[in-house]
Amino acid sequence: MPQLIPVTTTRLGEHLPLLELLPDDQPLSWIRGGDGMVGWGVFAQTTVRGPDRFTQARNWWHQQLEKFAITD
């Protein structure tokens, strides 16, 4: 069995200006209503196309999640 990649999430505080925390180079964020995540760097990427693109993206993401050992 391959070694899992350790991932740790950390709550930085309440109501931080998440978009202001993004780096200038290759920013990545998931933000809605002021809540969300910001990230740096690229772990992996994929390209999806066609009418089932959302299913393709979901399946790819779930495959990535199987590689992680997540600590919240």
Q: Is the full-model pTM beyond 0.75? A: no
29 in any annotated domain: yes
34 in any annotated domain: yes
Cα 64 from chain centre: 10
CA-angle at 17, arms to 14 and 23, nearest 5°: 125
14 in any annotated domain: no
The answer, yes or no, to whether residue 69 has pLDDT greater than 80, is yes
**What is the number of structural domains in the chain?**
1
65 in any annotated domain: yes
Could you tell me if 3 and 69 are in contact, meaning their C-beta atoms sit under 8 angstroms apart?
A: no
The answer, yes or no, to whether residue 48 has pLDDT greater than 90, is yes
Domain enclosing residue 28, as ranges:
22-71
64 in any annotated domain: yes
What pLDDT is recorded for position 1? Answer: 62
Task: Give the C-alpha distances (Å, rounded to integers) separating 33 from 14, 21, 57, 60.
Answer: 13, 16, 24, 26
